[in-house]
Amino acid sequence: MGLSLAACQTPPAEHGEGGAKADAGVGKAPEGEKKGPTPEEIEAKKKAAAEAQAKAEAAKGCCKFCFAGTPCGDECLPEGKTCDEPEGEGCACSSDERPTRTFEEGWLPRPNSGILGPDVFSFNKAQGDPIDGPFTLEMAFEGDETLADKGKGTLTATFQTSMGDIECELYEDKAPLTVANFVGLARGKRPYLDPKNRKSDEWVTGNYYDNTIFHRVISKFMIQGGDPSASGRGTPGYFIPDEFHPSLRHSGPGILSMANRNPYDRVTQKPIYDEKTGLTVGNTGSAQFFITVRKTEALNDRHTVFGRCDTKVPTAISEVRTQSRPIPDKPFEDVTIKTISFTRK
C-alpha cells in the first residue's frame, strides 16, 4: 500500500469573548445580559485558550514527508506529477494534526511491534542520527553526476560476490527513500553506527556492504545479507520508513526487498494497522536486504520491494550448504559481497 501524507492546516487559536456590559450606573444588569464572568468562567476560558495554543504549536511541528509521491509545498503530489515550488518551500504534512512522537536514546520497539512512518525521523534523531529528516537520493548520488542524472538510464546495482556478479534494477521512483538508503550506505554517503562495535556511539561513514556475507540462506526461498556483524542482528542504528507501492510485489525470483522485524497478523499474514491513523505499524527496516529465488506473495506490504535482480547467481547461492547452529541458515563457507557498484544503463 502506497502511503502519501496530505496537507496539514494549523488551526487558529481560540479567543474567549468578553463578558456582557452592564447598564451604565449602579444596579441590576438589564434582562438578557450577563454580569461579568465568574472566576470559574475566567479560569475555564484561560484553560481553553492554553489548550488551543498548545494544539496550534503541536500542529506547527507536524511537518512530515511523502512516503509515496512527491513533496511539493504543503502538498504531496500524486505519483508522476512534477513540483513547481522551489525546493525546500513549505512542507508536506499529515491531515490529522498528530504531533510527532518523541523517543529516548537507546529505545527500541518491543518484539512483534514497530512505529508509525511519520515517527521514523524523530526516532532516528533521538539515537543521535546526524541526518535530520530523510536521507534523499540527492544525498546518495553526491559526487557522481551520472548517477544524479535520470536521463542517463535505469539506476542499476551490481553485487560483486564470491560466487559471481548479481545485477539489479533499482526502483528509485517508487521506493525513493529505500533506494537512497541502500545506495548511500553502499557508497559511503549515509552515516551509521558500526554494527561490529555496538559500544561505540560514533556515527561513521564507509562502504557499509563491502566484504559482508550472505548470513542467511534458505533453499527455494531467499538469500539475505547486509549485516557487517554477520550475526543477523546488526543494524546501522536507525530505521527507514516502509514504502509499499501497489505495483511492487514479491511476484517471483529475483525480487530485491528490505528485511525488517515488522509485526504482522499470523492468521492473515497481513500487516498490522494503527487504529487511530490507519497507518501500518512497522517501519523497522534499515540496512539488511534479501533477494528471493521464488514467488513469495505472503511478504507483500510487509517488506519494501526496491529492485529486481537477475536470478542465476542468487539461485546458486540459495543452494549452498548451511548450518543449523549456532546461527541457523548461515552457509558453512562464507559467500561474500566484495562490493556493490552503481551505474545507469
Q: What is the pLDDT of residues 205-264, one digit of tens each?
A: 999 999 999 999 999 999 999 999 999 999 999 999 999 998 999 999 999 999 999 999
Q: Who contacts 210 (Cβ-Cβ below 8 Å, separation ≥6)?
A: 337, 338, 339, 340
pLDDT tier at 333, thresholds 50, 70, 90: very high
Give the pLDDT score at 39.
83
| Sequence-ordered list of residues with C-beta below 8 angstroms from that of 58, at least 6 positions apart, any chain | 97, 99
pTM summary value: 0.75
Q: What angle do CA 101, 103, 107 make, to 5 degrees?
A: 135
Residues marked active site are found at 216, 221, 224, 260, 290, 299, 303
How high is the pLDDT of residue 225?
98
Cell of 4: 502519501
- Are 315 and 292 spatial neighbours (Cβ–Cβ below 8 Å)? no
CA 127 to chain centre: 15
Q: List the helix and strand counts (H, then E) for the chain.
A: 6, 16
Read off the pLDDT of each residue in 94-99 and give the average, rounded to a whole number: 50
In the predicted structure, residue 36 carries a pLDDT above the cut 70: yes
Q: Is the pLDDT of residue 81 over 90?
A: no
| Dmax (CA) of the chain | 100
Its sign, for the CA torsion 313, 255, 129, 76, is: positive
Rounded average pLDDT over 54-62: 52
- Residue tagged 541457523 (cell numbers): 328
- Helix/strand/coil for 298: helix
- Is the predicted pLDDT of residue 17 greater than 80, yes or no? no
pLDDT tens track for 310-321: 999 999 999 999
> What percent of the chain shows pLDDT beyond 90?
63
**40: Cβ contacts below 8 Å, ≥ 6 apart:** none
The answer on pLDDT for 26 being more than 90 is: no
- Give the pLDDT of residue 175: 94
Alpha-carbon span 127 to 273, nearest angstrom: 25
Of the candidates 342, 18, 321, the residue with the CA atom closest to the CA atom of residue 180:
342
Q: How many Å apart are CA 334 and CA 230, to the nearest integer?
A: 10
Give all domains of the chain, ordered by start, each with its CATH number: 41-93 (no CATH), 117-344 (2.40.100.10)
Alpha helices (H) along the chain: 39-60, 120-126, 137-140, 145-148, 176-187, 312-318
> What does the alpha-carbon distance between residue 241 and residue 175 come to, in Å, rounded to a whole number?
10
| Burial readout 189-225 (b: 16 or more C-beta within 10 A, e: otherwise) | bbbbbbbeeeeeeebeeeebbeebbbbbbeeeebbbb
Q: Is the pLDDT of residue 12 over 60?
A: no
Nearest to 128 by CA among 178, 181, 185, 192: 192
Share of the chain above pLDDT 70, in %: 77
